[in-house]
Structure formats: structure tokens, C-alpha cells
Chain A
Amino acid sequence: MTNNFRSNITPTWCPGCQNYLVYAALQKNFADLKINVDNLIMNYDIGCAGNMADFFKTYGAHTLHGRSIAMAMGEKIVNPNLTVCVIGGDGGIYGEGLNHLVAAARANINIKVFVSNNFLYSLTTGQTSPTTPKGAHTKSTPTGNINEPIHPVELLKTVNQEIFVESVDVKDIPKLNNTIKRALEFSGFALVDITQECVAFGKQLK
């Protein structure tokens, strides 16, 4: 039976939103790797990226903001036969839920985390996030962001050398596909930091 993992719901992202590329790449790689849709759980954070929840038809959990990784860990611990993925934004994964991310990396638990890193809180209309560059003017930092940004790849590598963690530009489609594929095939914790530009609020960062 063929299954393209999609629900019947038309994505609600802004026209030109780069989450469409992530959505397409995930579907392609699930199909290429012949992942059984019955044994796949997708966990979605809250945010524009997490809104992918309605566009997939797999076992899924649209969790609380920041808690998608903790939820995923519970699932994987209970049933290691499942493929367990997480989709979230830089705010949810590197901010609100950072403690869970570090815990998952320390445990090297075999879950796959895909972060749409757009350097902003977009669903909440464009405030500063943990990856926003220093000095950037955003709605919550009108006089400039005073914080150093987090560098997720470097950060996680110091937590655990054994895990898979790479960053990729969403517009480099072949590399995006290849990175997602290797993350899914990796036999341990994997995080793909997918950098992108929010077409609605990204102009603030320029």
C-alpha cells in the first residue's frame, strides 16, 4: 500500500513559507526509507513549524510548547520499535524546552528532532528567539537584542559527542534531503537544525 503520509488538510502557512520545503523533504525521506506509517509517531511543538501537525496523517501528538521532546522520549522508551520524530521551532526546542533537549542528547535516545530554525518566534508574530542574532531589532527587543544567540550544533556537541547534530540551509534541497535521510538512519539521537527565513517577520533581522 502506498501512503504519502499526508492528511487532506491544505497547509495554512504563509505563501512562500519555507516550512513547505521541510514538509516535502520529510515526506520524501519517509517514503524513500519505506518507513511504515503505522509505526511512526510525529511529535509537534507549538509554533508555525509545529503546525505541520495537521498536514500529516500518521500517529501524532501536537504537544505543548517546548515539550515535544519529552513527549517523544516517553513514547520511545515505551515502544522502541516505533520511529519517533519531533518537529519544532527554535523557540520551542532551544528555548522553552532546552532542558528536555539536553536530557535527550545526554541519553542519546533514538528520536529524530527537526528544527525549523527561523531565528524568531513566528507564530506569536515575531519576537526574539534563542537563535536571534545579537543586536537584532524584533518586536520584543525594539532597541536591539542584548543576548548572545545559542549555536545549537556546538552546544549539543559539547553535551554528547556520540549524537548526530547538523545544521542545513533549507534552500539547499539536495543537502536537506541527504541530511534528513542520514538523521533518520542514524542509530541514536539526531537533530537537524534547518535554518530558514520567515517571510512574514524575517525582515526585522536584516
Chain B
Amino acid sequence: MANKVYTFKIAGPAGLGIKSIGQLFSKILIAHGFNLADYSEYPSLVRGGHNTYQISFSLDKVFAPHYQINAFFAINPGHWQQHQSEFNSKTLIFSDEENPESGRMEKGIFYNLPLKTLANEIGSPLVVNTISLGVAVYLLGFDLNLTKEIVCGFYQKFSDLNSRAIQAGYDYAQTNFPKCKLDLKTKINPKTDQQLYEGNESYGWGFLAGGGNFYAAYPMTPATGALHFLAAKQEAFPNIKVIHAEDEVGVANMGAGAAFAGARAAVGTSGGGFALMNEAVSYCGVAEIGLVYYLVSRPGPATGLPTWTAQGDLMHAIYSGHGEFPKVVMAPGDIDESFEMGYQSLNLAAKLQTPIIVVSDKFLGESSASTNNLSKIKVKIETGDIETKPSQNYARYKFTPNGISPLTIPGTPNGQFLANSYEHDELGFSTEDAQVSQKMFDKRMAKNKLAIKLAPKANLFGNNTAKTLIISWGSTKGPILEALKDLPNKDDFAFLQIKTLWPINPDIKNIINGFSNTVVIENNGTGQLVTLLKSQFDFNPTKIHLRNDGRPFFPEEIIKLLK
């Protein structure tokens, strides 16, 4: 029998450590043998407002956070109100108010948790989050000593204060909420190899594993996590250079310079910044510079919803850069694939000598999940066709059948060439000759064929004889797989996760044509994957389910849509 998934959620104003307490809770869960997936919501401001953090955990793998909450903690009075649709009759709601206005509470069981009073007894109003955690730890029957050890490691300077806060919450719950204790029906079995990563961090670990040594960015939510992560890694990895440049145009062109000078380079941004990078994408296309663009989407247009999620930049990525040139667009579906694409993108950039775009989004980039220790994974580093001893008549852009011409790195004797933004001949010098122009264009475009061969293949979950094929890409993978766990008629479904969105592998058509019913699920407003597939072959999905309100799909919602 599958193990139950529990979902806890904490909410309150920004600045009260909602996210950090959530991450601490995650560490405690991992230490007690749980797998988890989390999700946080926060407005684009630094103090006040309403922040939430929720976490779904189980002894089985959890692919995505659930919508329905088992235990809810409001660290300020009233912060539960807008979440009532997430409650059911058994939801435990803890809040610092004696009697929530009668009639307002529609579902769930309310408990008064006097956070302010308890915090004052401890001597700091800031520990309301940690006291709530103490209650959660009691509810789950967790080991208090192990918990305190983790809390102390996490808070270091304030470990005594937070240790007392945990104890206070735990004691209060033991005295007042003994009936709320959850019966997990499982033997706790600590395993220590699991670690918690945000998508942006796991991408960063993949970049490092893949020998990435130059990363430039201009802060933009939700891609900034990768910049922070890699900037902080410069001490431990002295060979990497992480640059916060003057603007995204500078970032992209600096990245091109770095890659041209021999670096395994990537640049990171969200949709608006990527718009500014477009001209440089085109330059890397024509000059055959292998640069990786890590594009973490948020809802547009323009500044849009900065701290929310969407898959609205698929076409933007595919059609990025003026003119026609080969590129690869790929999208990780979860934390592990963020890691994989972190290094695969660098390998592809080196081998294909062209722009490689990794499309993630806020939901994946800023949510955490538990997985193996990524810092220990060794991967294959592929450097592509590098010419170290060029002959006197070396030609950087030599016409070759597969479009790949051996590349020299500045500093190599006899390897001089011009990385030209104008159309050029085999040496890189400008040309306006009709024949050479056509031939050079064709040479570059030949790389698309190789790209199809080398880029990540689609994942097909479930069996080929299922009635219906679900088709999606990117971060919707988690909610879809989580939904398929609980769907009563799950054997009726197979799921195709398209990992490489450009160029489209012809196998995808064959897979899709093997099913008579197809359902596309996308976290955007117009169904960009549908548009893309229609441009490739005769495709008429039976149903299209879209969500474009800044929120991700939750598994419960997908179950409803598929039933």
C-alpha cells in the first residue's frame, strides 16, 4: 500500500521567516526519513503582505505539493482566512486568536495557539515561526533531540533561543493538543543521503558538475537563486567566475565573450531579461558560440507577476534571436532534471557550438524537493570538437557535413579567426557572396539534425496501450505524476513529458500518433506546446487544460480534470 502524503502549511507576513522555517522543517522531515516537495508563495515586497510555505511529505516519493492541507499554522491572526478552499473537515488550523469570528471558519478544526504570549515568555517576538515548528514536530511524533540538533545547526548564532522556542511549541502542543497527534503508522527510519534542493540550486550543482566556469546574470526573480547560489560557490570552486553585470545585454554579450575565450559559460535571467538578451542569442547563433541561457520564467507580459509562476516563454525561447539559426530549447521537469540539464546544456553548447536554452519557471526554480546528494554526482564532461594544433590554413567555419567545424580557443598558435556577427566565409571574414551565404546558412542549420540526436529524449510514463496520453513539458511533470499516483483509473493514462522542445524529435509524432486520446496540460494561457506540435505535424489534441493565474497546477486539480 502506498504511504500517505501529509501537507503542512504556514502563513504570515513577509519578514517573519516563513520560508526559512519551512526549509528547516524540510530538513527535519528528511532526517526522519521522509521525502518531500515544497512550494512557497510571496508577494513582490520585503516586509508585510502574506507569505506562505507548504510542504507535502511521505515515506514514498512526492512529486509535487498537494493543495489540501492537513495542518495549517497562521503565525499572525487571520492569516488562515484566504486559504479555506485548501481545508477539509479534518484540517487542523492553529492560529493566535481565541475565537475566530464565528461563521468565518467554513471547514476544519480550529485551535488557539498563543504564539505571541509564548514568544514573549521566551524573550523574542521573532520566534513565532519556530514555536509553530515545535507544534508540528509534536504532531508528527518526531524525535525532539534530533530536531533540536538540526535547529541548532540551522540557526547557529541564535541556536539557544530557537531551541527553547521548539521546546515551548512542543510542550504547549503536548499539554493542549494531544488529540491532534497524527498516527503516521510508519517506523521512522532516518536515512541521511537525502538532501533538499531548490530547482535553481540543483541547476547550479549541475552547472558545476558539468565543468561550468563562467556564470553571469542581472538579478531578476525567479532566476536570482542560481546567481546567489553560484556566487557563493566561488570560494569552494576557485575556477569559476560569477559576474553580476550592468544589465542583461551586458550579461549576454559578456557570456558570449567568455564562451568565445574558452569558458563553459551560462547566463541566467527571467523573461524580461531574456528579451534584452535576444540580439546576443542571434549573434551566438551566427558566430557559432556555444552559450547556455538559463531562463526561469514568471508570468508576463512585461514585469507581470514577478514572484509567481508560468510556462509562458516557450515560444519566446524557441523564436529567440532575429534571423534563422539552430538552437536547442529544453526544459527540466523536476529537481533531478534541473541538475541534469545544468551539465547537459554545457555539453550540448560545447558540441553544437550554438545557443542552448534551459527553460525553467518559478514553480520549479524556487520550490525545493529532496533528492540524492547532488554535490557528489560525477558526470561526463564533453568538450566538443576542439582543435589544439591547427595547421597554417586552419578555417574555423570549415564546411562539414554535420555542420560542426573544429574550434580553436584564443591563445592557440595558428588558430586565429574572426567570430563574426556578419555572414562570413570559412575563415570568419565578412562575405556578401550569394553562394557562400547560402552554404554557410545550410552548414549551421545542419546542426539541428545532430541536436535531435544529442538532446534529451522525451519521457514516456505508463504503457503504450493506455486509453489516453497526457502531454506536457517542464514543471507540470510533478503535479501530473503526483496526480497519477492517486487517480482511480490511472491505468487508462500514459504521460509524455517532452524534455527537448526544440528541435522537435520526429519520434514524438510517432508516440503521439499511437494514442487516440490526447490531453495537453500547460501552465500558460494559450497552449504554446499545442501550437508548437501543430506546427510540426497533424496534431489535434482531444483536450487542452491550461492554467495562467500565476499558480501552478496541484495534483488534486489534475485528478479532477482527468477523471
Query: Interface of A with B (CB < 8 Å)?
Result: 7, 9, 37-39, 41, 43, 46, 53-54, 57-64, 66-67, 70-79, 81-82, 99-100, 102-103
Contact = CB atoms under 8 A, between A and B. Distances in A.
Given A67-B280, A70-B257, A71-B256, 5 more contacts: A41-B410, A59-B411, A62-B420, A66-B249, A74-B260
Contacts of A103: 245-246, 250
B416 A74 contact: no
B429 A67 contact: no
10 contacts: A38-B410, A59-B411, A64-B280, A70-B250, A74-B253, A75-B260, A78-B257, A79-B411, A82-B411, A99-B246
B216 interface: yes
A79 B246 contact: no
A66 B279 CA distance: 11
A206 B245 CA distance: 40
B136 interface: no
Interface in B252-308: 252-263, 265, 279-280, 283, 287
A79 B257 contact: no
Contacts of B241: 77-78
A61 B416 contact: no
A30 to B, nearest CB: 13
Contacts of A57: 416
Given A71-B253, A99-B250, A78 B263 contact: yes
A79 B256 contact: no
Contacts of A9: 429
Given A38-B412, A39-B410, A59 B417 contact: yes
B20 interface: no
A78 B253 contact: no
Contacts of A43: 257
A64 B280 CA distance: 8
Contact of A70 (B253, B417, B419, B422): B253
A37 B416 contact: yes
Contacts of B412: 38
Contact of A74 (B256, B415, B420): B256
B261 A82 contact: yes
Nearest to A38: B413
Contacts of B249: 66-67, 70, 99-100
Nearest to A44: B418
B253 A79 contact: no
A38 B257 CA distance: 17
Given A9-B429, A38-B412, A78-B214, A64 B253 contact: yes
Contact of B257 (A46, A62, A74): A74
A74 B429 contact: no
A66 B252 CA distance: 13
B262 to A, nearest CB: 6
A75 B411 contact: no
B79 to A, nearest CB: 42
A126 B415 CA distance: 37
Nearest to B396: A59
Given A62-B430, A64-B421, A75 B416 contact: no
A68 to B, nearest CB: 8
Interface string B372-414: 0000000000000000000000000000000000000011111
A54 B257 contact: no
A75 B38 CA distance: 40
A72 B253 CA distance: 9
B121 interface: no
